[in-house]
Amino acid sequence: MSVGGWRGRFNGRSDPGDERYRIPVIGVRAVLFAIMAMKADLETNEATSEGQETVWDVVIVGGGPAGATAALYAARAGWRTLALDKGIGAGALGMATRITNYPGIAGTVPGMEVVERIRSQASGFGASFVSQRVTAAALSETSKTVYAGRDSYVARTVIVATGSMGRSQSIPGEAELTGRGVSYCATCDGFFFRDQDVAVVGNRDEAIEEALHVARFARRVWLLCPTSRPLASPDLIEQAEQSEVIHTRTGCNVRKIVGERSVEGVDVESGGKTETIPVTGAFLYLQGGQPILEFLGGQLALTDSGCLQVDAMLQTSVPGVFAAGDVLCKHVKQAVIAAAEGAQAAVAADRYLSGRASLKPDWS
């Protein structure tokens, strides 16, 4: 069960503000991760003893240059490898329209093409790529499970390569109403808003994909784009335009999420004027410049600046969990550097899985 799926069960009740269902958000998160850690132990034991569930040698969270390169190196080393991400165009490189300085690629190409080439090479060695938003993880030295949508993936090692497009500031009302109408996963929670009006906030592929998903259930979906037009794939934009449920508003900013005990609306500013759009749910897909770590639930040690703490092998505070790319926020943000760190993390994971004391040189 995903965090989003559990949390969403409180969103769709006829009276989501009922005192019987009010649970402190921080307390819920702590309890959830504790339960998931125990569940992960059971899943690992069951999968190992009965062979009923796939145990991946390496699960990578993130599919940009760091994650895709990690998948390439892990798969080439012969490990069963899975990479999970929100979509090929969701990361910083995938959004770039012009790349002219990536080694080995002459001329000018879209960033998405660079990512596609790395993924294709990784797939050639047997790596699997799945487009799913990771909502949580239960990580310990003995067991590791990654939760995405309504699925869970058991792993022997995990590489975190989620990048640094997280937001440093939340929208007023967001934290207070998370789990009470505010969600970050329409795949998890969309069902609970059947025949209700909801808002999806964002302008990239992920936002429109989630709007299309929740449109299966909701009566009306307000797609609120902060830019003058959606910055998404033309086919997704066309699908949204053809939907009778989705109503797109461009050039607007959500200033506040309104509600006492559950979401009642969103305050939207556009053209110097502010209006309140009545909704019972708000799905947020906005980007910023901070490392994306929310799904970890505080299980890994951070530096004073809020970045993942890693050793020389890019291993985090939990043995068998590694990190690479912009999520480390310690270097110049260049795709080639992120890719190099992805390779290093995968080689370190190979060493961990093989039980070696040192890295294995690979120049072939």
What are the phi and psi torsion angles at 135 (to 5°)? Answer: -105, -20
Say whether both 240 and 311 belong to one domain.
Answer: no
Sorting pLDDT into bands at 50, 70 and 90, what band is 311?
Answer: very high
Strand, helix or coil for residue 130: strand
Q: What is the pLDDT of residues 11-47, one digit of tens each?
A: 333 343 443 333 333 344 444 444 454 454 444 444 3
Pick 76 or 40 by higher pLDDT: 76
Nearest C-alpha neighbor of 189 from the set 1, 33, 7? 7
Say whether both 305 and 275 belong to one domain.
Answer: no
Q: Which ranges of the chain does DSSP label H, i.e. alpha helix?
A: 3-8, 25-50, 65-76, 92-95, 111-124, 174-177, 186-189, 205-214, 234-242, 335-354
Pick the last residue of a domain from 238, 265, 284: 284
> Residue 313 above 80 pLDDT?
yes
The reply to whether 107 falls in a domain is: yes
For residue 91, give both structure tokens. 């990361």
Q: What is the pLDDT of residues 106-148, one digit of tens each?
A: 888 888 888 899 999 999 999 999 998 898 999 998 889 999 9
Distance of alpha carbon 47 from alpha carbon 316, whole angstroms = 25
Count Cβ atoms below 10 Å from residue 73 Cβ, excluding itself. Answer: 25
> Residue 201 above 80 pLDDT?
yes
Pick the last residue of a domain from 284, 310, 329: 284
74 CB burial (10 A radius; 0-12, 13-18, 19+):
buried
Say whether both 150 and 198 belong to one domain.
Answer: no
Say whether both 58 and 159 belong to one domain.
Answer: yes
> Residue 58 above 50 pLDDT?
yes
Question: Tell me, what CATH number does 130's domain have?
Answer: 3.50.50.60
Read off the pTM: 0.63
Residue-level pLDDT at 332: 64
The reply to whether 197 falls in a domain is: yes
> Residue 61 above 80 pLDDT?
yes
Say whether both 155 and 95 belong to one domain.
Answer: yes
Distance of alpha carbon 121 from alpha carbon 279, whole angstroms = 44
> Residue 312 above 60 pLDDT?
yes
Distance of alpha carbon 31 from alpha carbon 36, whole angstroms = 9
Percent of the chain with pLDDT over 90: 49
Pick 221 or 25 by higher pLDDT: 221
The reply to whether 130 falls in a domain is: yes
Structural domains of the chain, count: 2
Domain that holds residue 117: 54-166+290-354
> Residue 186 above 50 pLDDT?
yes
The torsion defined by the Cα of 167, 171, 177 and 182, in degrees rounded to 10, comes to -60
Distance of alpha carbon 342 from alpha carbon 339, whole angstroms = 5
Lowest mean pLDDT among 12-21, 130-139, 149-158, 352-361: 12-21
> Residue 10 above 60 pLDDT?
no
Over range 336-353, report the average pLDDT: 94
> Residue 1 above 60 pLDDT?
no
The reply to whether 363 falls in a domain is: no
Residue-level pLDDT at 22: 35
Nearest C-alpha neighbor of 217 from the set 251, 260, 186? 186
183 with 11: CB under 8 angstroms?
yes
Say whether both 226 and 304 belong to one domain.
Answer: no
The reply to whether 344 falls in a domain is: yes
The reply to whether 11 falls in a domain is: no
Residue-level pLDDT at 236: 92
Pick 233 or 13 by higher pLDDT: 233
Residue-level pLDDT at 326: 83
Residue-level pLDDT at 189: 79
Residue-level pLDDT at 20: 34
149 with 164: CB under 8 angstroms?
no
Say whether both 259 and 229 belong to one domain.
Answer: yes
Lowest mean pLDDT among 136-140, 198-202, 246-250, 325-329: 325-329
Say whether both 150 and 94 belong to one domain.
Answer: yes
Lowest mean pLDDT among 37-41, 216-220, 280-284, 293-297: 37-41
Pick the last residue of a domain from 233, 265, 284: 284
Sorting pLDDT into bands at 50, 70 and 90, what band is 294?
Answer: confident
Pick 292 or 216 by higher pLDDT: 216
The reply to whether 271 falls in a domain is: yes
The reply to whether 47 falls in a domain is: no
Cα-based angle 161, 93, 151 (whole degrees, multiple of 5) = 45
Mean pLDDT of the chain: 81
Residue-level pLDDT at 331: 58
135 with 147: CB under 8 angstroms?
yes
Say whether both 236 and 250 belong to one domain.
Answer: yes
Residue-level pLDDT at 185: 72
Say whether both 118 and 81 belong to one domain.
Answer: yes
Name the DSSP class of 191: G
Nearest C-alpha neighbor of 59 from the set 173, 137, 141? 137
Distance of alpha carbon 41 from alpha carbon 145, whole angstroms = 9
Residue-level pLDDT at 12: 37
Say whether both 123 and 150 belong to one domain.
Answer: yes
155 with 353: CB under 8 angstroms?
no
Asked whether the CA dihedral 108, 111, 113, 118 is positive or negative, the reply is positive
Say whether both 328 and 194 belong to one domain.
Answer: no
Percent of the chain with pLDDT over 70: 78
345 with 159: CB under 8 angstroms?
yes
For residue 74, give both structure tokens. 């892990």
